[in-house]
Amino acid sequence: MALPKIAIIMSTTRQTRFGEKPAQWIYAIASQRNDMEVELLDLRDFPMPFFDEVASNAYAPTTNEVAVRWQQKVAEFDGYIFVTAEYNRGIPGVLKNALDYAYPEWNRKAAAFVGYGSVGAARSIEHLRLICVELQMAPTRTGVHIQGGDFMAVWRHGQSLTEIDYLQQNASTMLDELVWWTNALKAARAQS
């Protein structure tokens, strides 16, 4: 069976974002594995307006051209890693908008999470897991949470994420879970 295709999706687009560091970090780890193919997706490349369609594309085709291009890109993958910040205890609006702009493309696929912030985006990732359930995705138990002093050390004091041992272990466990669910769901999709 071909290797599962995994998209790493960055949640923020602001010019001075931190999000690129954890995204590049998990991309480097995932691309060294021989059980998945990974691609990094930047929502800056998909500048969609706030959702303004007659319905979800579960019910009516989307008219916005960028959003259609986004749906086609999402459809290419078997699973996803969301690299997310926490904005006022929720996921950043640009990520929510991107999630809302697709539906069947997410269905019956696996999702994993890398969060960063004062509590490692734990609160926004719990919210994101619920959103994933509504989108008929299977969220992994394990997430990677870059938090507290570690987040500050990397954000403000130039420490590298590769120097923080427990994060490498968390990433490995999470990616193992993601591959298991991705392969299971890929096989099930092929049969149905």
Q: Are 168 and 32 in contact (CB under 8 A)?
A: no
State yes or no: residue 12 binds ligand FMN (CB under 6 A): yes
State yes or no: residue 15 binds ligand FMN (CB under 6 A): no
The minimum distance between CB 53 and ligand FMN, in angstroms, equals: 26
Question: What would the x/- binding string for ligand FMN be over residues 31 to 70, using CB under 6 A?
Answer: ----------------------------------------
Q: Can you read off the two tokens belonging to residue 130? A: 């619920």
Among candidates 79, 86, 87, 48, which has minimal Cα distance to 66? 48
Tell me which amino acid residue 191 is: Q
Scanning 38-46, 116-124, 135-143, 162-170 for contacts with ligand FMN by CB under 6 A, the matching segment is: 116-124
The minimum distance between CB 89 and ligand FMN, in angstroms, equals: 4
Question: What would the x/- binding string for ligand FMN be over residues 127 to 166, using CB under 6 A?
Answer: ----------------------------------------
Shorter beta-carbon distance to ligand FMN: residue 87 or 180: 87
Per CB under 6 A, the list member of 3, 40, 66, 119 interacting with ligand FMN is 119
Residue 40 exposed, middle or buried by CB count within 10 Å (0-12, 13-18, 19+): middle
What's the first-to-final CA gap in the chain, in angstroms?
17
Q: Are 6 and 151 in contact (CB under 8 A)?
A: no
| CA separation, residue 81 to residues 5, 65, 85, 111, 192 (Å) | 11, 24, 13, 6, 24
State yes or no: residue 19 binds ligand FMN (CB under 6 A): yes
Per CB under 6 A, the list member of 79, 117, 139, 143 interacting with ligand FMN is 117
Q: Can you read off the two tokens belonging to residue 94? A: 């640009």
| CA separation, residue 120 to residues 39, 114, 156 (Å) | 23, 8, 15
Of residues 72 through 111, those in contact with ligand FMN by CB under 6 A are 85-89
Per CB under 6 A, the list member of 3, 5, 18, 64 interacting with ligand FMN is 18
Residues lying near ligand FMN in the complex (CB under 6 A): 12, 14, 17-19, 85-89, 117-119
